[in-house]
Amino acid sequence: MKRILLAVTGGIAAYKAIDLTSKLTQVGYDVRVMLTDHAQEFITPLAFQAIGRNTVYTSTFVEENPKEIQHVALGDWADAIIVAPATANTIAKLANGIADDMVTSTLLATETTKFIAPAMNVHMYENNRTQHNMATLRSDGYLFLEPGEGFLACGYVAKGRMEEPLQIVERLNQYFNEIKQLPQYKDSSFAGKRALITAGPTVEELDPVRFLSNRSSGKIGYALAESLAQRGADVTLVSGPTHLTPPKNVSVVQVQSADDMFEAVKSRFTEQDIIFKAAAVSDYAPVEMLEHKLKKQDGDLSVAFRRTPDILKYLGEHKATQYLVGFAAETQEIETYARKKLQHKNADVIIANNVGDRTIGFSSDDNDYTMYYKNGDTMPLGKHKKVELAEHILNSLETRWQ
């Protein structure tokens, strides 16, 4: 699922942005909306929230998540940004690097693809200054959705109408289809295939302030997702809580607990071609999640735990044509346990490492993997950065997994 950030500025054509949000959502885009103060003179955030089912952003000074700088995080999140309608005022500010609201601050802080859909009076549109500003933005890499001719709010029948929402959706579809067909993808066996990756830890809550988790950073799963997307795969990343920036061109499903991750994977499993089970899932969870904080008491404390779903085992038991890649984090007898896991979980390959070595693994940028294949082959990958290991893993699988 591609992620679209829609920036709505203050023109009468802002009402079209509601229809655009609806049409984008209907065809499967994940849409978030930003509104300028002037846009809110014409339309309300509630209209977009009701249609897009996402938070609507209106101010750089309202930070929804204290762990993020919102206007930076939104730009990183988006696969593409559309300014529709784009007023002459907003175009002028963007061309001159002015960042005085949520929209202009976000656009200045992102490197993602940006589309501009101008909408204004014909004389404003044809004004030399406006044309100069648009030329500046084109030279900076902005893509323009040219306005149409028709009846304008000012009474003129001329050029200046915002492009129709349906045409904007078609242009966006065309853009993403062109990306998928880039030459660097054509030789990869993953191009056009569907891949699901789990990454990071899970969090099992005991009470409102305490939980059980592990040291997994999610780095290898995120690196695999990014590399697979670059090779042309349609990638879904099911991620436990991490501090990592979601990879570009990857559909991210955020989960918390082992049960959440199991349901997210289970519901998407049958449509996949290859699955990487890289997450460090909690094997046990508290039987009861307490409604209130557990208070300190005299003596020791015993907590009852239940077994969480074995996701890799479930996938191995239910796979049809899917290729299943599992991970094994061990502290001793690495090969013995990896090969047992390969057999008992019915995986096609297990990628194992020694988490007893604190210089690699969970919180480190480095790791040292060995791949154990179902046919008995063993492939040591050596110690590398995790982003490099992701490439080595996929290079090894390119000619094997099908």
Q: Which phi and psi (to 5°) does residue 54 adopt?
A: -135, 160
Report percent pLDDT > 70 for the chain. Answer: 92
In the chain, which residues fall in CATH 3.40.50.10300?
A: 184-397
Q: Is 61 annotated as a binding residue?
A: no
Region of poorest pLDDT, from 83-87, 169-173, 274-278? 169-173
Residue 72: burial class (beta carbons within 10 Å; 0-12, 13-18, 19+): middle
Which of 154, 182, 209, 303 is labelled catalytic? 154
Q: Binding site annotation covers 311?
A: yes
Q: Residue 155's pLDDT is what? A: 64
Nearest to 43 by CA among 68, 64, 18, 76: 18
Q: Report the sign of the C-alpha dihedral through residues 339, 266, 222, 348, in that order.
A: positive
Mean pLDDT of the chain: 87
pLDDT score at 70 = 77
Radius of gyration over alpha carbons of the chain, in Å?
Answer: 25
pLDDT tens profile 194-238: 999 999 999 998 888 888 888 788 999 999 999 999 888 999 999
Q: What pLDDT, on a 0 to 100 scale, did the predictor assign at position 123?
A: 82
- The CATH fold assigned to 184-397 is Rossmann fold (3.40.50)
CATH 3.40.50.1950 residue spans of the chain: 3-180
Query: For residue 311, is pLDDT > 50?
Result: yes
The architecture in CATH of the region 3-180 reads: 3-Layer(aba) Sandwich (3.40)
Q: Is 283 annotated as a binding residue?
A: yes
**One-letter-per-residue 3-state SS of 158-206:** EEEECCCHHHHHHHHHHHHHHHHCCHHHCCCCCCCCEEEEEECECCEEE
Which residue type does 148 have? G
pLDDT tens for each residue of 228-271: 998 889 999 999 999 888 888 899 999 999 999 999 999 999 99
pTM beyond 0.75, yes or no: no
Return the pLDDT at 87. 92
Q: What is the reported pLDDT for 340?
A: 93
In this prediction, residue 117 carries a pLDDT of: 92
206 marked ligand binding residue: no
**Can 154 be counted among the known catalytic residues?**
yes
Range of lowest pLDDT (22-31, 56-65, 215-224)? 56-65
Q: pLDDT tens across 137-184, in order? A: 888 888 988 887 766 565 656 576 888 888 898 888 888 876 554 434
Flag whether 234 is marked binding.
Answer: no
Residue 218 falls in which region: left (phi positive, over 0), alpha (psi -120 to 50) or beta: left
**Lowest mean pLDDT segment, chosen from 55-69, 93-107, 163-177:** 55-69
Per-residue pLDDT tens digits for 328-374? 988 888 889 999 999 999 999 999 988 777 666 566 678 889 999 99
Burial class (CB in 10 A: 0-12, 13-18, 19+), 29: buried
Residues 376 and 362 sit within 8 Å (Cβ to Cβ): no
| 293 marked among binding-site residues | yes
Annotated binding residue at 309? Answer: yes
CA within 13 Å, CB half, 7: 28
